[in-house]
Amino acid sequence: MSPSVVALLLVFVFITSAFPVSAIERVRGQFWTYDASMTIAGLNATGTVTYSLSGQDSVMASGVSYDADILTISGNLSASSTLFGAPYSVSTVLGGARYESRGGMSTIREDLLQWTNISIGSAPVQLLARMQTEITTTYTPPCLSKFDPATTSPGDTWTEGITLNTTTIVNGTTVQGISRLVTYNVVIASSMEDVTVDAGTFQTLKITTTDSTGARNMFWWSSKVQNFVVEKRYDALNSQPNKLLTLKEFDSSSGAGTLIAVIVGVVVVAVAIVILAAILSARRPREPVHPLPPQAGVLGPSRMPPPTPPGVKAPGLIEKQPRH
């Protein structure tokens, strides 16, 4: 194979490797804020929840180590109603972290913290209760591990068998510890859907997961957002979601990562082109170099005539004859 063909192949390889297939590339500082509605202490509480990318690390789940993006959870929700004619209110502050697989969207573990205040009645007859709840859930293998943002297409379906380990601690006391195997049927809608929320209008993939009890989770995934635009969770036999998240604002720019990838790609392609040019130039036959004839009236150092031997007339000179 000739060097020029090899160089062309190198250029092709460099170009294709410099710009990889689209996938999730998250960087520290990205965030997604959702308008939230969920059931807390029997009331439909509303507020906002934010997931912020705080870093990457390895996380253990059921003895298996995974490379994970760490999403810090923060939020506030509240609701008010009446109970037997008395004012009834609930307010909750959310915290914790969600661990998601790097380059994907599967959930490995979630540590959810809730600080809840419950008020029934009004002063001077008022009942107050405060609870700190910690709920830790691990998924083995990670939930939605077969969902690949780069290759999953409308109409895809699959099944996932996942072991869920859940521990619930209320005010420092463990009240529940459950380990169970759950089978999810995952269905991708047959076509893309345009979804409009406060953050904008996005083209999405609708993902529905249903377990053996009939409980459903529905997600509308956007490659532009690099996350879900809408999330709904339904209990079995319930037509109203007990959890609803709709995207309010976000910053999912992969800034540094994407910019560096593009710069590196451009530099590599430029270097490949220079190599190609050098190889082609080396293979081009060189034209013979002919000495230039001396120019009249111009005698540079390299064109001086050889010295004339003594007693020999220099050629081209006419000897003057003496006048009589």
Output phi, psi for 245, to 5 deg. Answer: -120, 130
Per the CB < 8 A criterion, the answer to whether 225 and 193 are in contact is no
**pTM confidence score:** 0.72
Res 25: pLDDT: 75
pLDDT of residue 73: 98
The helix or strand, by DSSP H or E, that contains position 268, with its residue range, turns out to be: helix 255-283
Q: In a 3-state reduction of DSSP, which class is residue 11?
A: helix
Mean local confidence (pLDDT), 164-192: 95
Q: Look up residue 238 and give its two tokens.
A: 């319930």
Task: State residue 281's pLDDT score.
Answer: 61
| CA–CA gap between residue 58 and residue 84 (Å, rounded) | 50
Q: Are 84 and 120 in contact (CB under 8 A)?
A: no
Mean pLDDT over 292-319 rounds to: 48
Name all contacts of 258-261 with Cβ < 8 Å and 24+ positions apart.
258/25, 261/18, 261/19, 261/20, 261/25
Percent of the chain with pLDDT over 90: 60
Convert the pLDDT of each residue in 181-194 to its tens digit: 999 999 999 999 99
Confidence bin at 197 (pLDDT 50/70/90): very high
Treating both helix axes as pointing N-terminal to C-terminal, what angle do 3-18 and 255-283 enclose, rounded to 10 degrees?
A: 170
Q: What is the pLDDT of residue 26?
A: 82
Q: 145-149, 225-229, 251-255, 286-290 — which is least confidently predicted?
A: 286-290
Q: Give mean pLDDT, residues 98-106.
A: 90
Beta carbons within 10 angstroms of residue 185's beta carbon: 14
Look at residue 260 in the predicted model and tell me its pLDDT. Answer: 41
- Residue 68 predicted with pLDDT over 90: yes
Would you place residue 261 in the very low, low, confident or very high pLDDT band (cuts 50, 70, 90)? very low
Would the pLDDT of 259 be above 50? no
The more confident residue out of 303 and 17 is 303
Non-local CB neighbours of 19 within 8 Å, separated by 6+ positions = 261, 262, 265
pLDDT: which is higher, 75 or 18: 75
Stretch among 180-184, 201-205, 214-218, 271-275 having the lowest mean pLDDT: 271-275
The DSSP annotation for 95-162 comes to: EEEEEEETTS--EEEEEEEEEEEEEEEETTEEEEEEEEEEEEEEEEEEETTT--TTT--TT-EEEEEE
Which sign, positive or negative, has the C-alpha torsion 23, 29, 32, 37?
positive
The residue-averaged pLDDT of 130-150 equals 94
Q: Which domains does the chain show, CATH number per domain?
A: 26-253 (2.40.360)
Identify the burial level of 127 via C-beta atoms within 10 angstroms of its C-beta, where 0-12 means exposed, 13-18 middle and 19 or more buried. exposed
**Contact call for residues 160 and 145 (beta carbons, < 8 A):** yes
Residue 220 · residue 195 · CB < 8 Å: yes
Q: In angstroms, how far is the first alpha carbon of the chain from the final one?
A: 85
d(CA 80, CA 59): 38
User: Residue 284: what pLDDT?
Assistant: 56
Token pair in block for residue 144: 């939605």
Q: Which among 69-73, 261-265, 267-271 has the top mean pLDDT? A: 69-73
The rounded mean pLDDT for the chain is 80
Contact predicate 43/90, CB 8 Å: yes
Contact between 185 and 218 under an 8 Å Cβ cutoff? The reply is: no
Q: What is the pLDDT of residues 228-243, one digit of tens each?
A: 999 999 998 888 999 9
pLDDT computed for residue 6 by the predictor: 43
pLDDT band at 263 (very low <50, low <70, confident <90, very high): very low
pLDDT of residue 229: 98
Coil, helix or strand for 78? Answer: strand
- What is the predicted pLDDT for the residue at 105? 83
Question: For residue 220, which of 229, 232, 233 has the smallest C-alpha distance?
Answer: 229
**CA gap 197, 208 in Å, rounded:** 19
What percentage of the chain exceeds 70 in pLDDT?
A: 70
